[in-house]
Structure formats: structure tokens, C-alpha cells
């Protein structure tokens, strides 16, 4: 059942033990949104597997107690936050759940008790709307969590809209802190192993020219997301980074502004390639991921081909 922001409180209020669950490798948008909702409506904050580096930094900054790999059976309702495909929840067994999300994939809507899933630059904006509609008290920490989520998901306001700026301004006022304080949370030094991995991924990348479009593919065993982002930042119109994890292959993809503008939809491509290979995928137009069975090289090739078909 689709609900609107104002109806969230009444719906979640029907349950006693509520878990606000973040996806695997939870980022600041997931952590901040789930934290603010759990503080406003009561419940446990949890995440599958682990937090991302920045997710961890945010949790620490706002004193969020994130339960790693909570047990589904301990709760009456699981509110899945910032998550659109089941693979992002690893082995967590979803039973009775609700969904608050801003991704394109609608696969989790069908079985949800209730959901709010609409396109927006971050889940944090939706969570903020819920809090405002519910007239919930907003602490400094809740506002900080949401603002850092917005900053992180919009790439520091590079992908923005009037709504984003409005929400950010409101959160600064509600939290009573400076914008610099929020930025500070995200400025954590990058460790050498990550830098080396990303540099290796970049130097090993294969560049494919398709008219004026450049598609970059690379293999790496971790940091797929950061590597794809690095390639896109360096000028690739589309970048795919693949890593092997046991029998599974994970691919992260990023697209530049132009590619997204002409309609290249990475969420669609990664969903398709994922499903064709016994897995799943999804995300946003310009940033998506998949997890599937197969060799990185073959799956990268499939992704590359699909992107090349779409680029004019
Ligand atoms: Mn998000």
C-alpha cells in the first residue's frame, strides 16, 4: 500500500517492535534517514553486514547505535530504508516490512505492508518530509544525520534541486549547527590501501570509444563503487568496475551528466544484466550496482555492450 508522508506515523504506530534497517555497506543517506526515523517514532536501528566508511563516520558523529545483522524474527515490522533491491539486504529474511526509499527499482513495493518510494535526490529528504508532516521533535543529531545524508547522496549538492536546498536550509535551522559541521563529518582521511586499490583500478581500466563517448571498464577486488566514481570523475562517460566475491561478481557503475541526460539508465542496465545472470541489480540512472553469478570479465562485457547500444 502506497502511503504519503503524513500517514507514516499512524501506519508504523500499529507495530510494537520496529526495526529500521539499512542496506549492506550502509551510506550516510541510509544511516541518517533510519536514525532520524527511529528517533522520531521509536525502534531499533540496524544494518546488514556493515556500514560504509562514511556511514560509520556519521553514526559515530551523531551517536547512532547501529545493530549489525539484527534478527528479523525479533521484530514485528522491518522498515527498509534507502534500499530498492533484495540483494542489498544480503541474507536478511524479510517477512513483514515497510519501505522508505528514493531509488528507481520498484521490486520491493509489492510485498510491503506500506511504502513511500518516490524519486528524490536522497532518502533523507523523504524522511525529513515525514518528520515535518508528523510534527516530530527534531534533535541536533537527527538533523545532522539527515543533512549529511543529503550532502553525501547529492555529491555535495552537485546533483541538486530547489527541494534539496530547501530541505538543507530547514535542517540547518532545525539542528542549530553550521554547514561546516556537517561537512566535517564527511572529511575523513582516505587510507593508503583504498588509494592504492583505486589507482590500480584506474590504471588497469580498458577504455572503449564509441563515437565521442568513452566507456571504461575495470576489475578490482574491493572498492568497486569508488573506482567507478574515480573513472567517471576522470572523464569516462560511463564506468563499470567489477569485483569477484566468492562465486559472485559485483559491479558498480557510474555515468557522467551527459550520458544520463541522453537517457542512459544504469539502474535498468544493471538490473537486466544482473537478472540475466542469476542475480539482481539496480539503483539510479547515473549510479547503480549489481550482484550476479559469473566472471567479472564476461559480466563487464555484457554491461559495456548494453551501454554502447544505448549511446547514440
Ligand atoms: Mn540514498
Q: How far is the CA of 15 from the centre of ligand 1 (A)?
A: 25
Q: How far is the CA of 118 from the centre of ligand 1 (A)?
A: 12
CATH of the domain at 218: 3.10.310.40
Q: How far is the CA of 31 from the centre of ligand 1 (A)?
A: 10
Q: How far is the CA of 284 from the centre of ligand 1 (A)?
A: 9
pLDDT at 97: 97
Q: How far is the CA of 194 from the centre of ligand 1 (A)?
A: 22
Q: How far is the CA of 96 from the centre of ligand 1 (A)?
A: 22
Spatial distance between the Cα atoms of 55 and 59, rounded to a whole number of angstroms = 6
Spatial CA neighbour of 132 closest among 245, 224, 40:
40
Statement to judge: residues 91 and 152 lie in one domain? yes
pLDDT at 87: 84
Is residue 153 a contact partner of residue 27, using CB atoms and an 8 Å limit? yes
Q: How far is the CA of 82 from the centre of ligand 1 (A)?
A: 5
Last residue of a domain, one of 186, 214, 234: 186
Q: How far is the CA of 149 from the centre of ligand 1 (A)?
A: 8
Helix/strand/coil for 51: strand
Statement to judge: residues 83 and 222 lie in one domain? no
Statement to judge: residues 139 and 210 lie in one domain? no
pLDDT at 162: 97
Q: How far is the CA of 98 from the centre of ligand 1 (A)?
A: 16
Q: How far is the CA of 123 from the centre of ligand 1 (A)?
A: 5
pLDDT at 312: 87
Statement to judge: residues 213 and 182 lie in one domain? no
Q: How far is the CA of 209 from the centre of ligand 1 (A)?
A: 31
246 CA to centre of own chain: 23
- Ion ligand 1: residues, CB within 5 A, are 29, 82, 123, 153
Q: What does each of the 312 residues of the chain score in pLDDT, given as a tens digit?
A: 999 999 999 999 999 999 999 999 999 999 999 999 999 999 999 999 999 999 999 999 999 999 999 999 999 999 999 999 888 898 899 999 999 999 988 999 999 999 999 999 999 999 999 999 999 999 999 999 999 999 999 999 988 999 999 999 999 999 999 999 999 999 999 889 999 999 999 999 999 999 999 999 999 988 999 999 999 999 999 999 999 999 899 999 999 989 989 999 999 999 999 999 999 999 989 999 999 999 999 999 999 999 999 998
Q: How far is the CA of 122 from the centre of ligand 1 (A)?
A: 5
Q: How far is the CA of 210 from the centre of ligand 1 (A)?
A: 31
Statement to judge: residues 153 and 285 lie in one domain? no
Place of cell 508504523: 12
Statement to judge: residues 247 and 146 lie in one domain? no
Q: How far is the CA of 172 from the centre of ligand 1 (A)?
A: 20
C-alpha cell at 310: 544505448
CATH of the domain at 167: 3.90.1640.10
Q: How far is the CA of 153 from the centre of ligand 1 (A)?
A: 6
Statement to judge: residues 182 and 43 lie in one domain? yes
Spatial CA neighbour of 116 closest among 124, 126, 131, 128:
126
Last residue of a domain, one of 138, 160, 186: 186
Range of the domain at 249: 193-310
Q: How far is the CA of 29 from the centre of ligand 1 (A)?
A: 5
- What is the count of structural domains for the chain? 2
pLDDT at 269: 97
Place of cell 528517533: 39
Other CB atoms within 10 A of residue 170 CB: 16
What stretches of the chain adopt beta strand conformation (E)?
A: 18-22, 44-47, 67-68, 77-81, 97-101, 115-117, 206-210, 213-219, 238-245, 248-255, 280-283, 287-293
Statement to judge: residues 13 and 153 lie in one domain? yes
Q: How far is the CA of 232 from the centre of ligand 1 (A)?
A: 19
Statement to judge: residues 157 and 66 lie in one domain? yes
Instruction: Calculate what percentage of the chain has a pLDDT beyond 70.
Output: 100
Spatial distance between the Cα atoms of 159 and 152, rounded to a whole number of angstroms = 10
pLDDT 10s digits, 118-176 = 999 999 999 999 999 999 999 999 999 999 999 999 999 988 999 999 999 999 999 99
Which pTM does this prediction carry? 0.87
pLDDT at 104: 87
Last residue of a domain, one of 152, 186, 220: 186
Statement to judge: residues 271 and 153 lie in one domain? no
Q: How far is the CA of 102 from the centre of ligand 1 (A)?
A: 7
Other CB atoms within 10 A of residue 139 CB: 16
Q: How far is the CA of 211 from the centre of ligand 1 (A)?
A: 32
pLDDT 10s digits, 17-39 = 999 999 999 999 999 999 999 99
Amino acid at each position: 500500500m502506497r502511503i504519503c508522508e503524513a500517514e507514516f506515523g499512524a501506519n508504523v504506530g500499529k507495530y510494537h517492535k520496529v526495526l529500521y534497517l539499512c542496506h549492506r555497506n550502509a551510506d550516510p543517506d541510509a544511516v541518517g534517514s533510519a536514525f532520524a526515523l527511529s528517533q522520531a517514532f521509536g525502534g531499533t536501528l540496524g544494518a546488514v553486514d556493515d556500514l560504509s566508511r562514511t556511514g560509520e563516520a556519521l553514526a559515530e558523529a551523531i551517536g547512532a547505535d547501529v545493530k549489525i545483522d539484527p534478527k528479523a524474527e525479533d521484530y514485528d515490522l522491518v522498515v527498509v530504508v534507502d534500499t530498492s533491491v533484495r540483494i542489498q539486504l544480503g541474507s536478511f529474511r524479510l517477512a513483514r516490512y515497510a519501505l522508505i526509499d528514493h531509488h528507481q527499482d520498484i521490486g520491493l513495493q509489492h510485498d510491503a505492508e506500506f511504502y513511500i518510494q518516490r524519486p528524490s535526490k536522497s532518502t533523507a529528504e523523504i524522511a525529513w518530509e515525514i518528520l515535518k508532516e508528523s510534527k516530530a521533535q527534531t534533535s541536533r543529531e537527527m538533523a545532522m544525520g539527515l543533512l549529511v545524508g543529503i550532502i553525501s547522496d547529492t555529491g555535495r549538492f552537485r546533483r541538486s534541486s530547489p527541494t534539496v536546498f530547501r530541505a538543507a536550509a530547514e535542517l540547518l535551522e532545525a539542528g542549530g549547527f553550521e554547514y561546516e559541521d556537517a561537512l566535517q563529518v564527511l572529511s575523513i582521511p582516505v587510507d593508503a590501501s583504498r588509494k592504492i586499490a583505486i589507482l590500480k583500478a584506474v590504471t588497469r581500466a580498458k577504455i572503449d570509444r564509441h563515437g565521442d563517448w568513452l566507456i571504461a571498464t575495470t576489475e578490482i577486488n574491493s572498492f568497486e563503487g569508488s573506482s567507478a566514481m574515480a573513472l567517471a570523475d576522470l572523464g569516462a562517460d560511463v564506468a563499470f568496475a567489477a569485483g569477484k566475491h566468492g562465486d559472485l561478481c559485483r559491479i558498480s557503475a557510474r555515468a557522467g551528466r551527459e550520458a544520463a541526460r541522453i537517457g542512459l539508465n544504469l539502474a535498468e542496465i544493471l538490473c537486466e544484466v544482473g537478472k540475466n545472470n542469476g542475480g539482481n541489480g539496480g539503483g539510479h540512472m547515473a549510479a547503480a550496482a549489481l550482484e550476479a553469478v559469473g566472471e567479472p570479465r564476461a559480466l563487464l562485457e555484457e554491461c559495456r555492450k548494453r551501454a554502447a547500444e544505448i549511446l547514440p
